[in-house]
Amino acid sequence: MNNARLPVAVFSFVFVILTAVQLILNSPPLLLLERFVDGGGWIEIIIISFYGAFIAFKMQNPKNSPKWRRLSWTLFSIVFFSQMIIGLLGAGNFLMTGKLHLPVPLMIISGPLYRGHLSVMTILFLSTVILTGPAWCSQLCYFGVWDNILSDKSTATKPIKNKAAIKTMGLLIVIIITLLLRFLQVPLKIATLVAIAFGLGGMAVIIFVSRKKGYMAHCLLYCPIGTIVNYLKLLNPFRIYIDKDCTMCMRCTTVCKYDALNLIDLKNRKPGPTCTYCGDCISACKDNYIRYRFFNLQPETARKLYLFLTVSIHAVFLALARI
């Protein structure tokens, strides 16, 4: 794709998806402007489509990609939580179903386990993992972006000890506690309080650990959804690899917030399991030794295909993701 093709492709894809939503899923309207102005959904479709094209254009250059990824990710979270706050104040039109749901990533897995059926957010989450691998953890999670912002400093080159064991144990504990709450028929209000406590604990990790350590401690060690992403992303064919000519300059390790690049990873010629394909390391590699892979496509083409999918999904979620 040349400089024009990627933005045009994103605009077209987002426009088609949101048009289908406007025409097929319009009772009640899912597009926010349609809930307030008859035909307003079409205006929103055009605005969001242009927005997606603009972000894709800005992210084409690997040097600019980290800045615009964080800006767009932050905007998504601000819009998401702003609608939640307005909904809490009584404006039901700002909520997806007119009812408030707890906006803690934990609920993506615990909600269905407790209730016994899938939720809309769980389906959206699984679809993003299938299409883009781990992009949920670097562009779409409304909670994780704040972990990214508060861990904004150079990271250590030493890997986190026992990371895999901590993550797996945390996921198992969450699953076991959720199933116990269901088996014991614990009332919904009490189960919700447990989820709120977990969310507050995550905020504490972000504020007191991530900010101090310089890596995303909440997403890496605390959030069970991050652990699920680490496993399920292998179902997706996108990969990031490190060229054999890598000089081990270690510059990439200073920008990775996911503890996915250290000396061992560089020697293995691939990022560690917690890599989210965010691409920040590519911008830090002055010799372009870190690249995307998608089957037999050229690395730059694979990267732009990944940008097409992630930016398009981000734009669609910006229009539709409400609690």
pLDDT in tens, the chain (323 residues): 457 899 999 999 999 999 999 999 877 888 988 989 999 999 999 999 999 999 999 999 999 999 999 999 999 999 989 888 888 787 877 776 655 567 788 888 888 898 888 777 788 888 889 999 999 999 999 889 999 999 876 665 577 888 889 999 999 999 999 999 999 999 988 988 999 999 999 999 999 999 888 889 999 999 999 999 999 999 999 999 999 999 999 999 989 999 999 888 999 999 999 999 999 999 999 889 999 999 999 999 999 999 999 999 999 999 987 76
Do 83 and 116 belong together in one domain?
Answer: no
Q: What is the pLDDT of residue 3?
A: 78
Do 95 and 141 belong together in one domain?
Answer: no
Residue 282 domain-assigned? no
Residue numbers of the domain that contains 227: 101-236
Query: Could you give the CA distance from residue 275 to residue 264 in angstroms, rounded to a whole number?
Result: 14
Q: What is the pLDDT of residue 25?
A: 80
Instruction: Please answer whether residues 196 and 299 qualify as being in contact, where contact means their C-beta atoms are separated by less than 8 angstroms.
Output: no
> Which positions ≥6 away from 158 have C-beta within 8 Å?
262
Residue 278 domain-assigned? no
Residue 230 domain-assigned? yes
Do 10 and 89 belong together in one domain?
Answer: yes
Question: Smallest Cα–Cα separation from 222: which of 151, 310, 120, 311?
Answer: 151
Do 120 and 230 belong together in one domain?
Answer: yes
Residue 36 domain-assigned? yes
Within 10 angstroms of residue 31's Cβ, the number of other Cβ atoms is: 20
Residue 198 domain-assigned? yes
Do 17 and 89 belong together in one domain?
Answer: yes
Q: What is the pLDDT of residue 175?
A: 95
How many structural domains are present in the chain?
2
Instruction: Please answer whether residues 94 and 322 qualify as being in contact, where contact means their C-beta atoms are separated by less than 8 angstroms.
Output: yes
Last residue of one domain, picked from the residues 236, 267, 287: 236
Q: What is the pLDDT of residue 154?
A: 62
Do 180 and 143 belong together in one domain?
Answer: yes
Query: Could you give the CA distance from residue 279 to residue 240 in angstroms, rounded to a whole number?
Result: 9
Query: Could you give the CA distance from residue 124 to residue 218 in angstroms, rounded to a whole number?
Result: 21
Residue 263 domain-assigned? no
Within 10 angstroms of residue 190's Cβ, the number of other Cβ atoms is: 11
Q: For 235-295, list the strands marked E by DSSP.
A: 239-242, 290-293
Last residue of one domain, picked from the residues 236, 252, 269: 236
Instruction: Please answer whether residues 119 and 111 qualify as being in contact, where contact means their C-beta atoms are separated by less than 8 angstroms.
Output: yes
Q: What is the pLDDT of residue 21?
A: 93
Residue 86 domain-assigned? yes
Do 36 and 128 belong together in one domain?
Answer: no
Do 183 and 307 belong together in one domain?
Answer: no
Residue 247 domain-assigned? no
Query: Could you give the CA distance from residue 110 to residue 120 in angstroms, rounded to a whole number?
Result: 13
Q: What is the pLDDT of residue 156?
A: 57
Query: Could you give the CA distance from residue 283 to residue 281 in angstroms, rounded to a whole number?
Result: 5
